Every structure is written in structure tokens, then in C-alpha cells.
Amino acid sequence: MTDQPTKQKLWGGRFTGKTDPLMHAFNQSLKYDQRMHAADIRGSIAYAKALRRVGLLTEEEEVKMTQGLETVGREWATGQFQPAADDEDIHTANERRLSELIGSLGGKLHTGRSRNDQVATDMRLWLLSEVDDIESSLKGLVRIMVERADKERDILLPGYTHLQRGQPIRWSHFLLSHAFSFRNDLERLQQLIPRISVLPLGSGALAGNPFSIDREFLAKELGFASLAENSMWGVGDRDFIVEFLMWSSLTMTHMSRLAEDLIIYSTAEFGFVTLSDAYSTGSSMMPQKKNPDSLELLRGKSGRIFGDMAGFMMTLKGLPSTYNKDLQEDKEPLFDTVDNISASLKIAEGVIATMEVHGEKMQQALTMDVLATDLADYLVRKGVPFRETHHVSGRAVALAEARKCQLNGLSVQDYKGLHEKFGDDVVEVFDFEASVERRSSIGGPSRKTLDRQIAVLRAALGQK
């Protein structure tokens, strides 16, 4: 039977009075930071090894401490861990339980270590593991968009500006326009990872470690790419959280714009797409309704995640150097953002993978007025300045409107009356497929340029 330590707070020696129960609850973070239990155990095991390397633990003590920590970790994993009333946070809880298991030896674990460098280490470890899953989900979303674009390139529809029909494009071109935004998000996330992967452990409370702890060993042991070169910065820095929240806000802004397009396209007025029943709901009053709730929630989550970022930025602004308790407010917005962006990426992938695309409805939405620019381009190829051809094409549109017909309803003689450079071949303008194929410069919607876009995106995903 191990000797049982006296229960006390990690900081309790200075204080003789009792903590106000309301203050204890106000101060306690275990209810939400317990999700970092595995990261805390992992960091503590590495730190125990570092203590042995400098002679502060014997080999036998390290083994006993490691086994105790592994037991605590298993209790969390199996749901057997029982928090105590005095557990302020995950660090206190784990150390308290360790000491119950191995006795006073557990008190050696905190040698030279502060909760300041401990929590910063835990958060970075935890976020790195979550980012792996988020990166995988983001790749999954881009991948399904690329696969659909590759298979559905024959479908044409109007491209819109100001929500007004502009020019004909391919459905694939539309999908890939959103995929490229997510490709950039993927690049930004990958660029952020090295700034998350910085080891604070060994920074102490603010002034470093007095026992010559080998921090390079700790970084290697925990898989960090680098270590905090300044101990004050190491315990006080939360830029990696801000960057992740900013990244999430931008990524969800892109998600919101995709959702908005698909919400519009799924209306009866457009009828371009139909969402799977798995990602739709009905109305409690109107039996005919099929609501795109998945897309509306994705659009709504973007505001929530932006709010998480803005709120924490206001907490961080103006804090004095190193650790302040205000920084405890970093966890809930980070956890909330991770949960919601992780779910959002998976939901979006499911929506894109299962929605039905109605090519015939898109084709019906193509009216000849979307070829007005092609009509102007026809005259450009005949040597007429574009500013003049734009005016001539506008007059053709006005004439067709006056006659209540489409542009191809005007006769060749009508066109010749509008400009002397119009010839019998003007009828060749009125072909949607030909219009799209003429736009074959890099970035356009032609088949050749779609092949290039798909290749670029697959390369970003690590595919060939």
C-alpha cells in the first residue's frame, strides 16, 4: 500500500484561508480541459524521462512514475477516471491521481515544471493531433469535388455575376472554383503546422528550468519540430491558437460561400441540384418542403467560428507579458472551433458526394443573351475595337428584346444592319459548347484547361 499525500492545491502553501466555493468553480477548467488528458499524460511521461536523464529521478522511480501515468491514461480512456472536487484542471487531476497510485513519488513530477509551460505544451500537442484529422478531412472534401468535376465536365450552365446570368461555363468549372479556395486553405493549414509544433516544456513558469533539463531531448521525444527559444514567450504565446482560429474563420467563409451557391441552386426556381435525404430535413407544417439544413448549418457555423476567433482576440489584446489567467479562455473557443470545423468538413464532403446534379435544368437556364460577349468577340476577330463591339452587341441585345426573341432569332441581315463586319458566319457564335471551348487560356472552362486544373488540385492532394 502506497503512502497517501495530503490533499492540497498545487499552489496552496502560500495560502491559509479557504477558497470561496464560487471562486473555485469560476477558476476550475477541468470540465472542458479534460479532453487534453492524453496530451498531458504524454508530456508528463516525457518529462519524467528528462528528469531521470539529469539525475532527479532514479531509473526505478522513472519506471514507477511512467507506469503510474500510463494507468491514469487508461482510466481516462476507459471512462474510469474519477475527478475529485479539488481538481482545478487536467494537470492537477492527473498529478493527484498519480500520487494516489504511487505515493509521494508523484510529487517529484512537477520538479522544475510549471502549469504555465505544461498547459502550453498540452495545447500544442492536442492541436497537432486534431490538425492531422482536419487536414485529412479537408483533403477528402477537395478530392470529392475533383472527382465530380472530372466525371461531370459535359454539363454546361450559366456562370453568374451579381446573381445575373453572365457567360456559359462548365459545371466542373464551378465546382473547381470552390475547390481552389479549399486548396489554398490546405496550403495555409500546412504552413501553420510548424508554428504549432514548437515545444514550450522546460520554460518553467517564465524564467526557464533550473535543473538543466534537456529540452532538445523533450522536443524529439514529443515529436515537436522546434522548441521555444525564449521561456517568457514560450509560456505566454497563444499566436498558434489565434492563427488556427483565423484559418478556421477563413476556411468556413469559403464553406459558407459554397453552401450559399448550392442553397440557391437547390431551390425550385433553379433546380440545378437536389440534396440527398441524408443531408436534408422537412418542414413541421408544410409536407412538400425539403430543406437544405446541412448547407444552412454550414453557412451558420461560419459565423460561430468567426465569433470564437474575435472573442479570443479581445481576450489576448493588451495582456501583460507571460502567463495570465485570462489565457485560460483560449481553450473553449479552440475546442469549439475544432469540433465544428471538423464536423463541417465531413458534412460538406457528404453533401457534395451524394447530391444529384440536374444537367438538363442547367442547360435550360442557358439563354442566348449569355453569348452577348461572344458576339462582341466575333467582331474583335474581324478587327473592330472591343469598345465599339461591346456597344454593337448591346444594340443587338436591345433589338432582340424589342422583338421578344433570342439573339439567334435575329437574321443575318439584322446583324449586317448593325455593323458591316458581320457576315454569314455570325450564326456560329450561337453555340454554348463552342463558346466554352473558345475560353482555353489557363484558368478557363474549356476541356483542356479543366484537365490542367484537375491535375493541379490532385498534385496538391499528393495524387498523380
220-246 per-position pLDDT tens digit:
999 999 999 999 999 999 999 999 999
Task: Look at residue 3 in the predicted model and tell me its pLDDT.
Answer: 46
Task: Look at residue 16 in the predicted model and tell me its pLDDT.
Answer: 55
**d(Cα 39, Cα 338) in Å, to the nearest integer?**
16
Per-residue pLDDT band for 86 (boundaries 50, 70, 90) equals confident
Mean pLDDT, rounded, of the chain = 93
Task: Look at residue 283 in the predicted model and tell me its pLDDT.
Answer: 64
Per-residue pLDDT band for 4 (boundaries 50, 70, 90) equals very low
**How many Cβ atoms sit within 10 Å of the Cβ of residue 437?**
16
Cell numbers given for 96:
493527484
**d(Cα 28, Cα 44) in Å, to the nearest integer?**
21
**d(Cα 343, Cα 365) in Å, to the nearest integer?**
34
Per-residue pLDDT band for 11 (boundaries 50, 70, 90) equals very low
Task: Look at residue 107 in the predicted model and tell me its pLDDT.
Answer: 94
**d(Cα 316, Cα 338) in Å, to the nearest integer?**
19
Check if the beta carbon of residue 249 is closer than 8 Å to that of residue 188.
Answer: no
Task: Look at residue 22 in the predicted model and tell me its pLDDT.
Answer: 78
Mean pLDDT is lowest, of 11-20, 47-56, 344-353, 421-430, for 11-20
Task: Look at residue 353 in the predicted model and tell me its pLDDT.
Answer: 97
**d(Cα 90, Cα 44) in Å, to the nearest integer?**
12
Q: What proportion of the chain, given as a percentage, has pLDDT over 90?
A: 88
Residues 6+ apart with CB under 8 A from 11: none
Burial 398-416 (b: 16+ CB within 10 A, else e): ebbeeeeeebeebeeebbe
**d(Cα 358, Cα 156) in Å, to the nearest integer?**
10
- As annotated, the residues of the chain forming the CATH 1.10.275.10 domain(s) are 12-111
Asked if residue 258 has pLDDT above 80, the reply is yes
Task: Look at residue 2 in the predicted model and tell me its pLDDT.
Answer: 44
The 3-state secondary structure of 139-175, one letter per residue: HHHHHHHHHHHHHCCCCEEEEEECCEEEEEEEHHHHH
Mean pLDDT of 89-111: 95
Whether 283 is catalytic is yes
Residues 6+ apart with CB under 8 A from 301: 252, 255, 340, 341, 344
Mean pLDDT of 383-405: 94
**d(Cα 23, Cα 306) in Å, to the nearest integer?**
30
Per-residue pLDDT band for 23 (boundaries 50, 70, 90) equals low
Asked if residue 287 has pLDDT above 80, the reply is no
Catalytic residue among 283, 321, 411, 440: 283
**Contacts made by residues 393-400, CB under 8 angstroms, sequence distance 24+:** 396/372, 397/369, 397/372, 400/368, 400/369
Task: Look at residue 299 in the predicted model and tell me its pLDDT.
Answer: 96
Asked if residue 14 has pLDDT above 70, the reply is no
Whether 173 is catalytic is no
Nearest to 379 by CA among 333, 408, 344, 421: 421
- As annotated, the residues of the chain forming the CATH 1.20.200.10 domain(s) are 116-213+229-364
Task: Look at residue 5 in the predicted model and tell me its pLDDT.
Answer: 45
> Whole-angstrom distance between the N-terminal and C-terminal Cα of the chain?
61
pLDDT in tens, 308-364: 999 999 999 999 999 999 999 999 999 999 999 999 999 999 999 999 999 999 999
**How many Cβ atoms sit within 10 Å of the Cβ of residue 285?**
6
Mean pLDDT of 437-453: 97
Give domain 116-213+229-364's CATH superfamily: Fumarase/aspartase (Central domain) (1.20.200.10)
Mean pLDDT of 62-73: 98
Mean pLDDT of 145-164: 97
Q: What proportion of the chain, given as a percentage, has pLDDT over 70?
A: 93
Domain 12-111, what architecture? Orthogonal Bundle (1.10)
